[in-house]
Structure 1
């Protein structure tokens, strides 16, 4: 005979949570994050910086966002 035990589905995630819920989520994730011992960054010569190429698709996406495009 088959066991047909049913379980309740988990509650949907709150996508419009407040800062307190975000901080709580981050606190629960801390044990899963590994930080490097030390990050050393060296300055980049301006002659090596030639510009940024942004794919048209990404540019259109940002342009459509009120915070960036309007």
Structure 2
């Protein structure tokens, strides 16, 4: 199977700023599609059972200053 490229990919800018990130997102926007019908309904409380986090992930989040401090 071939993958014809229609546009060249943008070079990765790992040290970019917010303006660079916004530009990358703007270039990707035409490839995203929104659902035709969005119907937001409340979720019944009987379907919500809580969140379970594996201990390794909990330790990881606890060690991150944004979440644990």
Q: TM-score, normalised by structure 1?
A: 0.67
1:36 to 1:43, Cα distance in 2 relative to 1, 3 A: same
Give the superposition deviation at 1:14.
3.0
Give the superposition deviation at 1:54.
0.9
Task: Tell which has more relative contact order, 1 or 2 (C-alpha 8 A, sep 6+).
Answer: 2
Answering whether residue 68 of structure 2 is matched by residue 66 of structure 1, we say: no
Give the superposition deviation at 1:38.
2.1
Figure out how many residues of one structure are paired with residues of the other and give that number.
59
Give the number of the structure whose alpha-carbon radius of gyration is greater: 1
Q: TM-score, normalised by structure 2?
A: 0.68
Q: Structure 2: give runs of 5+ residues left out of the alignment.
A: 1-10
Relative to its length, the structure with more helix (as a share) is 2
